Structure 1
Amino acid sequence: MSGQNGSAVYVYAVVAADTDLPEGLDPVGDGAELVVIDHGELGAVVSDIGLDRPLGKRDDLLRHERVVNTLARETTVLPMQFGGVVSDDQAVVDELLGENHDYFAWALRQLEGCRQFVVQGRYDADELVGQIVADDPRLSELSESIRGADPDATYYERIRLGEAISGQVERIRGDDAVHARRALEPFAVAVATKDVVEEDGAVNVSVLVHRDRVSDFEQAVDALGDEWADRVNLRLIGPVAPYDFLPEPVDPESVETGAEG
């Protein structure tokens, strides 16, 4: 049994029972081996990990992501958050698969045949700011008035210009997020617009796509990239583990009976 002699069991994901693991997966923990522990309709993808080995290193997170994302390309998967550890194989059955069996089985049915993709874009900052200033006569005049002037003498004017440009960037970013969502929704099961983290970030949209529509979806992303080619660098990531679309049961009874929600 795993999880003995100073080790525990690290959990990556829940999948359907009898799932075959892809080759070449590199688990968290040196020398570990990935296996699937089955219980009922479910399987848990796990590996042993030493109790004396602290988690949290960047390499651990990257290995976790690679495992769950590779699984997501091959099969329907419910990914676990990074760092999930239980005591042994029996705890995987009792505390994870057994206790949550009906919900996990139901959630896998909701995601069957679907893949998550992420569409991210970054602005050409110089092009964007230049266009914002050129399109607004007041900003053009203010920008021209401080060009080459003493920064100390034009301190407040520079602040006004920066705030005005920042406000316009936020407006454009909001409009672009709406446009991207509308362009991709016809090919998606679900769409989630997420916050942009980078200062030059344009869009960050997660999209759940059925495998039968992946080609159409990719063409839609290409078309959006062509439309925005002069000001946004668009990138398609995926398939990845569907963290953004893990189903939440609306009616507990529907999960217990196996009814689709």
Structure 2
Amino acid sequence: MADETGLFIYGVVPADVEATPDAAGVGDPPGEVAVIRHGDLGALVSEVPLEAPLGRSADLRAYQELLDGTAAVAPVLPVRFGTVVTGPDAVIDLLRPHHDRFAAALAEYEGRVQYVVHGRFDERTLLRGVLDENPTAAGLAEQVRGRPEAASREPRIRLGELISQAVELRREAENRRLLDATAEYVVSAQPRPPSHELDAAHLALLVDADQEAALVDALEEYAQHRGGLLRLRLLGPLAPYDFVSAHQLAGWPVDLLWALLTLPYAPVRGLTAVVAVVAREAESRQRNPVNVRRELEELDAAAAAGELSAEERDRAEQRVLDRLTGGAGRAGARARPARRGPAREGGARDDRRRRPGSTA
């Protein structure tokens, strides 16, 4: 078993995508990224030892960096983190039944990327506004001011409820305001649930590449206009994690890999050939890589704001990844993007676009 390897699948791409020579995958040392093709499709993969656990924060970051770098030059359908199969034939067996659906989705997302906009209220400004607008809340604040917590428990609870309700209403209004401000520049928007009690807005935006600069300008103007009330953070360009995935399109259940792991020689859910799967996958909302990514974004934001030290952020990131994979981790290298190459098997283009800074 020590010498056996499997293929870690990152995402589904058009067949003309090639990995750049310096692209690096998960693992320590990082795996060499390759593309396995079937018809108009390709799958970004790298070899991983079967005995090595996948659970380092560097692994998820390498996975995300490779997908995000690829999204800058070509459409990509993310495959859930931790999807590992036995070899090239197993990859093709996963692609073949869904070829046309994957190809149509790739065509739809050609030239589009995701951005994430995250706004957080300034606490003092927010509370002052709530008390100015709500006489009942202002009265309760006077009642509890300077009194011991035990002696003012009931008014404190009521004040907390009123503030929470007011923040929720402001959050809904801020999301609508932000959607209105960016509507002409985005193809689609996906609201995200708040990750902090002071969250003002949290949106995933799908954007055409030729609208990226206009979107950034609109958000800068919005941030300046709302600067006294909230801080705005923009993350991107990213792969379209919040809008599409190979698992979603194929109808693969969340526990597909667990099913194949326990019954390695039985067809599962419409697969047209036997696929022996040798690694685990997230099996609940808590382990969903989209949600994990959001948590990592929150940790990065907290570190940037000085709320966490770099060491505290790294430890927290590892706890998130351990929950996803059940493993323990070490530091490691990051991945680099892919490029577009000559068309294959009647596939798409030969423009060989690359993310800025990459090499041929």
Question: How many angstroms does 1:22 deviate by?
Answer: 4.2
Q: Does 1:110 align with 2:108?
A: yes
Deviation at 1:233, TM superposition (A): 0.7
Is 1:69 the counterpart of 2:68? The answer is yes
TM (norm. structure 1) is: 0.88
Letter in 2 for 1:245: F
Show the counterpart of 1:224.
Answer: 222
Of 194, 202, 206, the residue aligned with 1:208 is 206
The answer to whether 1:159 aligns with 2:160 is: no
1:100 aligned residue: 98
Equivalent position of 1:82 in the other structure: 81
Tell me the residue number matched to 1:173. Answer: 171
More displaced, 234-243 or 212-221?
212-221
> Residues 234-245 of structure 1 correspond to what in structure 2 (within 5 A)?
234-245=232-243
- On the 8 A contact 1:68/1:79 being kept in 2, the answer is yes
| SS of residue matched to 2:45 | strand
Aligned twin of 1:26: 24
Aligned-partner SS, 1:242: coil
Deviations 1:179-207 (CA, angstroms, capped at 9, x unpaired): 11111111111111111111221111011
The residue that corresponds to 2:286 in the other structure is: none
TM-score with structure 2 setting the length? 0.65
Q: Distance in 2 between matches of 1:20 and 1:232?
A: 42
Structure 1 residues 152-200: Cα deviation after superposition (integer angstroms, max 9, x where no partner) = 2211111111111111001111111111111111111111111111122
Given that residues 181 and 193 in structure 1 are in contact (C-alpha distance below 8 angstroms), is that contact kept between their aligned partners in structure 2? no
Aligned with 1:149: secondary structure? coil
Name 2:302's counterpart in structure 1: none
Q: Where does residue 53 of structure 2 map in the other structure?
A: 54
CA RMSD of aligned residues (A): 1.7
What SS does the aligned partner of 2:195 have? coil
User: Per-residue displacement from partner, 1:25-84 (whole Å, max 9, x unpaired)?
Assistant: 331112310011122111111000001012233222122111111111221111111111
* Cα drift, residue 145 of structure 1: 2.4
User: Alignment identity in percent?
Assistant: 35
- The aligned amino acid for 1:49 is V
Instruction: Select 2:194's aligned residue among 188, 193, 196.
Output: 196
Question: Against the structure 1 CA distance between its residues 140 and 183, is the aligned structure 2 distance closer, same or farther, given a 3 Å change threshold?
Answer: same
Q: Count the aligned residue pairs.
A: 245
Structure 1 equivalent of residue 40 of structure 2: 41
Cα pair distance change 1:118/1:7, threshold 3 Å: same
Structure 1 portions without partners, runs of 5+: 250-261
- Cα drift, residue 137 of structure 1: 2.1
Q: Does the 8 Å contact 1:22/1:74 carry over to 2?
A: no
